[in-house]
Amino acid sequence: MNLVTLIWNYRRKGLNDWVSQRFSVIFPIIYVLAVMCYALVGPNLDDWRSYIFSFPMRILGTLAALSVVWHIKIGLWVVVSDYIPRGFLRFASTIAVYVYVWLMLVLFVYLYWSS
Amino acid sequence: MSLRLYFSVNPNKNHNSLAIIESLSYNNISKGFMMKKAPRFLNLFKIKLPLPAIVSISHRISGVVLSASLIWVAYTLYFLKVCNQYSWQWLTSHPAWYLSGYLILAAFFFHMCSGIRHIWDDFHHTHTLNAAMIGSRYVILISVLLTLLFMLTRWAVS
């Protein structure tokens, strides 16, 4: 195994991934159920805005974004390494997954906490 | 010795006929038989998966759909942040928006239910095919019910 393969595929710390992928679903589930149960009430635009950008929902949304990004990072790595053979293509798609995921995290933090 | 072993196994006697094997092609003659033992061209349309397998692969597909749906969520959040009353009405009455919202909602609840079933499997509670079948039926039933429940928000809003 050369060094690049060693770095990008090396010990994925399987137990760490397993545990974090299963515990990272808690905040997204709480957030989605909170939002959808609020949607059952039938709010208008101002209600939505004051609900989604209230302080507790910002905290919960940021935690949900962080958790879901971690979950997606592991899940898409599994999918990529299952279906794409070793080589440049897997290397590039792994990097694409990481870039997508961290860009999404930055975007959500910006959307919640700007202004 | 190994060549003799290979000739004793005829790759054309493929009883479930899942794979199309090119056993006597030009490559086999030129490169040798040993390289071509594995069936290469699996016909995916001939494979009939049982229900737990369908739920399992749909978990993966819905996960990929959901990870792409972060763009939808971010767009909606941005819209909610900056829009006025009229543009909000335009967005929420746009078919591309709410149909993809239904799709993402269904994918989310399916992914959630089948993920809970995956955790259940991880702790070895499904030893038999029957238990797996019952669990996957419950996954489909509960995710469809949750999706239909939260699709009611469409009528609650309007």
CB contact under 8 A, A29 and B81: no
The distance of A8 to chain B (nearest Cα, Å) reads 21
HSE (CB half, 13 Å, CA atoms) of A68?
30
Q: Which of residues 64-103 of A touch B (CB under 8 A)?
A: 68, 72, 75-76, 79
Q: Which chain A residues are closer than 8 Å to B77 by Cβ?
A: 52, 108, 111-112
The distance of B78 to chain A (nearest Cα, Å) reads 7
What are A111's two structure tokens? 């959307």
User: What does the alpha-carbon distance between residue A38 and residue B150 come to, in Å, rounded to a whole number?
Assistant: 10
User: What does the alpha-carbon distance between residue A73 and residue A91 come to, in Å, rounded to a whole number?
Assistant: 14
Using only the alpha carbons of chain B, give its radius of gyration. Answer: 24
- DSSP summary character for residue B42: E
User: What does the alpha-carbon distance between residue B124 and residue B111 come to, in Å, rounded to a whole number?
Assistant: 20
- pLDDT of residue B32 exceeding 80, the answer is no
Higher per-residue confidence, B40 vs A47: A47
ipTM value, please give it.
Answer: 0.86
CB contact under 8 A, A41 and B152: no
User: What does the alpha-carbon distance between residue B83 and residue B89 come to, in Å, rounded to a whole number?
Assistant: 10
pLDDT in tens, chain A (115 residues): 555 555 555 555 677 888 889 999 999 999 999 999 998 887 889 999 999 999 999 999 999 999 999 999 999 999 999 999 888 999 999 999 999 999 999 999 999 999 7
Which among A25, A48, A104 has the least Cβ separation from residue B115?
A25
Find the residue in B nearest to A78 (Cα): B60
Query: Residues B116-128: what's their mean pLDDT?
Result: 83
Q: How many CB atoms lie within 10 A of CB A105?
A: 19
CB contact under 8 A, B157 and A42: yes
User: What does the alpha-carbon distance between residue B8 and residue B151 come to, in Å, rounded to a whole number?
Assistant: 59
The distance of B2 to chain A (nearest Cα, Å) reads 28
- pLDDT of residue B97 exceeding 60, the answer is yes
The distance of B74 to chain A (nearest Cα, Å) reads 7
Q: How many CB atoms lie within 10 A of CB B44?
A: 7
Q: Which chain A residues are closer than 8 Å to B66 by Cβ?
A: 72
User: What does the alpha-carbon distance between residue B123 and residue B92 come to, in Å, rounded to a whole number?
Assistant: 42
